[in-house]
Structure formats: structure tokens, C-alpha cells
Amino acid sequence: MEKWFLRNVKGNLDAISKRLNISKILSRLLLNRGIKDLKLMDSFINPSLDKLHNPRLIKDMEEGVKILKESILNNEKIRICGDYDQDGNSAILTLYKGITRCGGRVDYVIPHRIIDGYGINERIVEEAKDDGVDLIITCDNGISAFEAVKLAKELGMKIIVTDHHEISCTYDHKGNIEYRLPKADAVINPKRLDCKYPFKELCGAGVAFKFVQVLYEEMGIDVEESYDLLEFVAMGTVCDVVDLVDENRIIVKEGLKRINNTNNKGLKALIKTTGLEGRTINPYSLGFVIGPSINASGRLDRADIAVELLLTSNEDLAYKYAEKLHSLNIERKYMTEEGIERVVSQIEKKGFKEDKVLVIYEKNIHESIAGIIAGRIKDMYYRPTIILTDSKNEGEIKGSARSIEEYDIFKEISKCKDLLNDFGGHPMAAGLSLNVENLEKLRVRLNEEANLTKEDLIPKIYIDMRLPLEYVSFELVEELKLLEPFGKGNPRPLFGEKNIPVVKAFKLGKNDNTLKLILKMKNGKTIEGLYFGDIEEFDRRMSKKFGQAEVSKMYKGIDNGIKIDIAYTPNINEYMGYRNLQIMIYYYR
């Protein structure tokens, strides 16, 4: 069972409400999202392009643009090296279109997930030299590519790193941390310790976008033209699951406007092929439909397909690519479900369920979906999870890690570097490889050194505020739209209320997979609540608490004794011209 917490960030609600002309409820929600500065609050509820930060504040930005400008003017050969996921694809598209607009002679390369692994490597550098490349620009990778960058310099090429990942670090035997940068001609990453850029959470495509903005200025191109690239940058921002606050919020809001009116033939074809035509594209569409379809090419085929889709002006080719991506994503979903079943079987049968950190080796999992499976298993068991499978190197296994908020998995894996062949990542996600004989040592050490308490391993539900149901209004629902788009760092508002009588319950949908509850408010009126969770579990818990007779009465609409606490979000239901208030119930107890 989850543990419920009420957020209670201190702040002067009266002053905020008055200054920004918003309700105290919205003022509370802004504080709960860690936004305390009035200027940032205004930017949050009124996001606009003029509130983007100055890209020249990023360390090495002007030096990198100077190098690129000289290469363009000297007609040198430029190669972009990206990554095989949505953010990497978006960053490639942003740089490629930006550099092409400036007259640059540019192409791109994407590492193959299985053959090359993540990021630029020595093979890619040597191939660039053979192809006569003068300048390499990385995007969404490169911050830890020390050997590849060193080789590029030794071979006489210039190299600019643009990235957003954590700066590589190591821990000595005393636990002291040491940071290290690759020796490129310019290293453009807001996470650099010596970078004074005010926002550190841009994705790879966001950093590429900032780079193009300064390039346009230096090349005498109106910077407003760079805004056309935001449809790509928004996709990368949502799909890389960075916090949708500050600049990311502006990028996604403006990018979605452009996506919903796109002229890009490839994007239009993908929207139609995935069944989204005629619907408003929102962060959910990007994160759970379009993004996974694009990512599927890098997982099960070659990532170039996705970039070619979004670059082509040939409509027939666009549909051919879109259908290929959609087909690959269906295959990926099947493989994921099959992999999850295998992992769950191991956890349940081999006693791993009691481990604080789950380290599972399953050789039949395709390495490209190890991260997806790790994320799903982490959610199921609320444990930091590492999923490993065979790599192309004999005797080596590799995989992905996903974590919970109480555990910095990158830091903890770093402490085991003596057991690993390679690793990298973030506090919440990492990738690693090791020799198979070190598997058990890694599992034992991570679990022995994990200071996770029983409390840490209980899922947490954070409720914004207690809000009686009679306070739900059309005006409130409309005001909450000012917080859109929702995503990581800006979750959908979640309100709570206790001890609500259930007047009647209905099971809806073809498979009875939706529960509609008629809830009684304190003023005697009722409101509809919809719940899309496990309805069988709901019935079981109600029967255990109140008795089967009361549950039967509830479904018949007869007076009963069932009362529940809920965590909910208000909504407006529109059907055949009628509008009524309802609530979406996400958690109950």
C-alpha cells in the first residue's frame, strides 16, 4: 500500500494570489512545485518565448559557435554524432536543419545500439577521418567519451561536445568525488560545474537548440527562425523525461502548438499511422505514442529511420517509414511484456523479492528494452532495479538501471566501479556492463551497502492539498489548465478528501475496466468519480473492510455504509453538447 503525504510548502498565498491575479489554490500548487520566486511563477503560468534564457550564458557556447561558423564559411565537412533515442534524434534534427540553414556541409551518424553502444566511439571517429570530416559535433552524448574525443584530436579533427548528461565523476576510497571533462575544443553542457547558465535541466535537443540560436545570431539569421525547430525539441524534452519547468515548459508548450499545426510530412504520417489524427497532440501523445514509435527504430532496427522520416519531403516515403516504426513499436511492446513475465518469475521464485536492490540477469531479454523493463519492475516492486542481459562480447553482460527517489543509483553503481567494465547515467537511471562472474558480487555489494529503510521502500503519494468536493467548479478546472502541459517536475494537480460516502457504483467499458462512483458531498449534492485502476482489487478491499453485503448495496444504489478517502483531479466531461463536472480518482483508501 502507498503512504500518503500532504505537501505543505510555506508561502504567502494572499500576496501571491493578489500579485498574479490567481486563486489561492493555484498559488498553493505553484509553491508545491518548488516555484517561490514571483518572476518564475509568472513565467510558469504565462510561458512565452521572450522568457527563454540567454544561450550565450552556457559555458563554451560562444567558443563552440565560433568554431562551427568558421567551418561553415570555409566549406569544411561537418558531421553530427547523435544518439539512438528520441532525444538524440531530436537533437540531430535540430542541429542538421540549423546548420543546413546556415549553408553548412553537414551529415550525421547515429551509433548502432547493439554494435556501438551509447554515444560516439573510436570506430565512429576513425570512419569520420576516412570520410574527410573536419569537425565533429556530438549531441545528447560525448560528455564521458574521453577516448573518442582524444582520438579525434590526435587525428587532426575539431570536436565540439554538446550534451546534457551528468558530468563524469569517480569516487576514491575515502568517498571523495572527482569530476572530469573530455578534452574537446568546446564542451557545451549546462551541468558543468563552471557553467553559470540559470537552468540546468535542458535535454540534449534543448542544448542543441540553444547552440543553433547563437549560430543564427552569428550568421545574421533572424533568431525567430529557430522557433520552427521547437516541434523537434519538444519531442525530445517530453520523451527524455526531464522536468517540465522553466525553459522546458516554454519549449514544450510552444513546440506542441507547432506539432498540432505541423507541415512536416513525416510527423503527419506518424500521427496518422499511430491513430492520433484528428486529436490534439499533448505530452501523453508524445511520451506514450509518438516517442516510443520513434525509439523503436533505435531499439530493434536502425535509428536513422526515424531521422529520415522527419527529414523527408516525399509523402509516400514518409508513410513507408511511419508504418515501419509503428510495426516495430508493436513488436517492442510484445517483447517487453514477455521480458517482464520472465523477470517477475525470477524475482518470485529465486527469493529476490526481499532484496532492497533488484539485480536480475535474464539472457532472453533484448538489450534494447532492458531499460523499459527495469522501469516497469521498479514500479511494480518499488525497488531500485537493474536488468542485465547478454552483450555482444563473450562473457560480458550489460543492461540498464532505474531507481526510486530515495536512492541515487548512479552514485551507488559508481562505488562498484571495480566490478564494472563500463557505466554512466543519472541518479534515477544508469547503464552498465560487467563480466558475468561479477554478477553475484554486484548484487551482494549493492544490497549490503544500500541504506534503504522499510519506509523508503513504500511508494509515496504526494497530495497538493485537501480540497472538499463541493469546492470543485468549472472555474477551478479552467484555471488549472494554466499549469499545462503536465509531466515530470510538474505533475497533474492531486487533491485529497476524506470519508466520502459512495452512493452508487457502476462498472463501465467492454471489459468492465472502468469504475464510476457517485459520491456524496457535504452539501448533500453528488458528483461523479471515475477510477481506471484494478477494479477487482477495489471490490476485494471494500468487501474486506465493509462486508460483501455493503458492496452489493453500493452496486445497487441502496443506502450503504461504504466511505472512502480519495486522491483526485477535477475534470469537465463534455458529451453531445452537455458539460458536467467530474473527478478522476487516482488513489483511494
DSSP letters of 430-449? EEEEEEGGGHHHHHHHHHHH
Q: Is residue 9 part of a domain?
A: no
| CATH number for the domain harbouring residue 509 | 2.40.50.460
Give SS3 for 515: strand
**Domain ends where: 231, 259, 287?**
259
Q: Is residue 68 part of a domain?
A: yes
| C-alpha cell at position 436 | 558475468
Q: Is residue 126 part of a domain?
A: yes
Place of cell 511511419: 322
Q: Is residue 277 part of a domain?
A: no
Give SS3 for 226: helix
Any alpha helices (H) in 264-314, and if so which ranges?
A: 265-273, 283-285, 291-300, 304-311
Both 63 and 187 in one domain: the answer is: yes
Please count the other Cβ atoms lying within 10 Å of the Cβ belonging to residue 435.
Answer: 15
How far apart are the C-alpha atoms of 476 and 222, rounded to whole Å? Answer: 40
Position 171 scores a pLDDT of: 67
Both 427 and 498 in one domain: the answer is: no
Position 576 scores a pLDDT of: 78
How far apart are the C-alpha atoms of 178 and 172, rounded to whole Å? Answer: 8
Both 439 and 560 in one domain: the answer is: no
Both 89 and 232 in one domain: the answer is: yes
**Strand 495-508 relative to strand 514-520, pairing:** antiparallel
- Exposed (0-12), middle (13-18) or buried (19+): which is 453, by Cβ within 10 Å? exposed
**Domain ends where: 259, 290, 322?**
259
**Domain ends where: 197, 230, 259?**
259
Position 423 scores a pLDDT of: 86
Both 531 and 469 in one domain: the answer is: yes
Show the domain range for 246: 51-259
Q: Is residue 246 part of a domain?
A: yes
The amino acid occupying position 341 is E
| C-alpha cell at position 467 | 480540497
- Rg over alpha carbons for the chain, rounded to the nearest Å, is 26
Position 336 scores a pLDDT of: 95
Chain segment 381-410, per-residue pLDDT in tens: 999 999 999 988 899 999 999 999 999 998
Both 438 and 559 in one domain: the answer is: no
Chain segment 164-181, per-residue pLDDT in tens: 998 887 767 777 788 899
Number of domains in the chain: 3
Both 208 and 251 in one domain: the answer is: yes
Give SS3 for 242: coil
Q: Is residue 578 part of a domain?
A: yes
Q: Largest Cα–Cα distance of the chain, in whole Å?
A: 83
Both 491 and 401 in one domain: the answer is: no
| CATH number for the domain harbouring residue 73 | 3.90.1640.30
Contact 320, 354 (CB under 8 A): no
Both 87 and 228 in one domain: the answer is: yes
Both 224 and 92 in one domain: the answer is: yes
| C-alpha cell at position 275 | 491513430
Both 102 and 218 in one domain: the answer is: yes
pLDDT in tens, the chain (589 residues): 789 999 989 999 999 999 999 999 999 999 999 999 898 899 899 999 999 999 999 999 999 999 999 999 999 999 999 998 899 999 999 999 999 999 999 999 999 877 777 889 999 999 999 999 999 999 999 999 999 999 999 999 999 999 999 888 776 777 778 889 999 999 999 999 999 999 999 999 999 999 999 999 999 999 999 999 999 999 999 998 898 999 999 999 999 999 999 999 999 999 999 999 999 999 999 999 999 999 888 777 777 899 999 999 999 999 999 999 999 999 999 999 999 999 999 999 998 999 999 999 999 899 889 999 999 999 999 999 999 999 888 999 999 999 999 999 989 998 999 999 988 777 888 899 999 999 999 999 999 999 999 999 999 999 999 999 999 999 999 999 999 988 888 999 999 999 999 999 999 988 888 999 999 999 999 999 999 999 999 999 999 999 999 999 999 999 999 999 999 999 999 887 889 999 999 999 9
Q: Is residue 385 part of a domain?
A: yes
Both 482 and 566 in one domain: the answer is: yes
| CATH number for the domain harbouring residue 390 | 3.10.310.30
Q: Which of 526, 203, 252 is nearest to 518 (CA)?
A: 526
- φ and ψ at 4, to 5 degrees? -95, 135
Q: Is residue 358 part of a domain?
A: yes
